[in-house]
Amino acid sequence: MSITLPPGVEVFERGWLSANNILLHGRSPEEGAVLIDTGYVTHAPQTVALVDAALLDEERLRLIVNTHLHSDHCGGNSALVERHGCGVQIPPGDFSAVRTWDEARLSYQATGQQCPRFQANAVICPGEQLRHGELAWQVHAAPGHDPHSILLFEPSTRTLISADALWERGFGIIFPELDGEAAFDEVEQTLDLIQSLRPAVVIPGHGAVFSDVQQALAIAKQKLEHFRRDPARHARHGAKALTVFHLLEVQQQPRSELLDWLVRTPVLMSSWQRFFADGPSLHAWSKGLVDELVENGVLTAETLPSGAASIKVAKATT
Ligand SMILES: [Zn+2]
**What pLDDT shows up at residue 304?**
83
Average pLDDT value over all residues in the chain: 95
If you measure from the C-alpha of residue 190 to the centroid of ligand 1, how many angstroms do you get, rounded to a whole number? 14
If you measure from the C-alpha of residue 109 to the centroid of ligand 1, how many angstroms do you get, rounded to a whole number? 15
Q: In the CATH hierarchy, which top-level class contains the domain 9-229?
A: alpha beta
Contact at 8 Å (CB) between 156 and 148? Answer: no
Handedness of CA 208, 214, 215, 219 (dihedral sign): positive
- Is the pLDDT confidence value at 122 over 70? yes
pLDDT tier at 292 (50, 70, 90 boundaries)?
A: very high
**What pLDDT shows up at residue 15?**
87
Q: What residue ranges in the chain does DSSP mark as E strands?
A: 9-12, 21-24, 33-36, 61-65, 87-90, 122-123, 129-132, 135-141, 150-154, 159-163, 201-204, 252-254, 299-303, 309-313
If you measure from the C-alpha of residue 266 to the centroid of ligand 1, how many angstroms do you get, rounded to a whole number? 17
If you measure from the C-alpha of residue 101 to the centroid of ligand 1, how many angstroms do you get, rounded to a whole number? 18
If you measure from the C-alpha of residue 301 to the centroid of ligand 1, how many angstroms do you get, rounded to a whole number? 28
- Is the pLDDT confidence value at 318 over 90? no
If you measure from the C-alpha of residue 90 to the centroid of ligand 1, how many angstroms do you get, rounded to a whole number? 14
Q: How far is CA 232 from CA 72, 218, 221, in A?
A: 25, 22, 18
If you measure from the C-alpha of residue 133 to the centroid of ligand 1, how many angstroms do you get, rounded to a whole number? 27
If you measure from the C-alpha of residue 175 to the centroid of ligand 1, how many angstroms do you get, rounded to a whole number? 9
If you measure from the C-alpha of residue 153 to the centroid of ligand 1, how many angstroms do you get, rounded to a whole number? 18
What's the pLDDT tens digit per position in 35-58? 999 999 999 999 999 999 999 999
pLDDT tier at 1 (50, 70, 90 boundaries)?
A: low
If you measure from the C-alpha of residue 148 to the centroid of ligand 1, how many angstroms do you get, rounded to a whole number? 10
Are both 9-229 and 233-317 of the same fold?
no
What's the pLDDT tens digit per position in 127-171? 999 999 999 999 999 999 999 999 999 999 999 999 999 999 999
If you measure from the C-alpha of residue 69 to the centroid of ligand 1, how many angstroms do you get, rounded to a whole number? 7
**What pLDDT shows up at residue 317?**
59
If you measure from the C-alpha of residue 294 to the centroid of ligand 1, how many angstroms do you get, rounded to a whole number? 25
CATH of domain 233-317: 1.10.10.10
Domain extents for the chain? 9-229, 233-317
If you measure from the C-alpha of residue 26 to the centroid of ligand 1, how many angstroms do you get, rounded to a whole number? 27
